[in-house]
Structure 1
Amino acid sequence: MQRSKIIYLLPGIEGKLHAINAADIGKLIISKGGYDALVSKDEAGYMALAMPGGTIKRYFNTKEWQKIVE
């Protein structure tokens, strides 16, 4: 798999920023009143990142990501 040159710095609910390569993103989950989530996969396996509600709409063009937005 080719690596992306796009790196997202996303806030987790614990207050830290997480660097996520766009090529690793498997799914974006927009919450309805709770936390947004991102599931990514890299060499180490899967990771789920809980983010404050509204993060996906702020950081991502959801039209571009529609195929992986739940």
Structure 2
Amino acid sequence: MTTENSPIEKLPSSAVQTQAMASCRKKKNEEATFLQDVRDHIDEFVNASMEEHKTCFQKTIKKVGC
């Protein structure tokens, strides 16, 4: 089994944290239809790194816990 390095693994740790911190979902276009927004959301989810998913999940848990 081979593993491929993702572009985010080649960045310094501070760059990874900055990119991951900005990863949680924000609507790109306020005038987008519901389906356009869902399509954008799915694209962001599929293309996000594991670090981005982890950070967003942790932020969500913190929001729910407070």
TM-score class normalised by the smaller sequence: under 0.3
* Structure 1 or 2: more helix by fraction: 2
User: Relative contact order (alpha carbons < 8 A, sep ≥ 6): 1 or 2 greater?
Assistant: 2
Q: TM-score, with normalisation over the residues of structure 1? A: 0.25
Structure showing greater radius of gyration is: 2
Q: TM-score, with normalisation over the residues of structure 2? A: 0.25
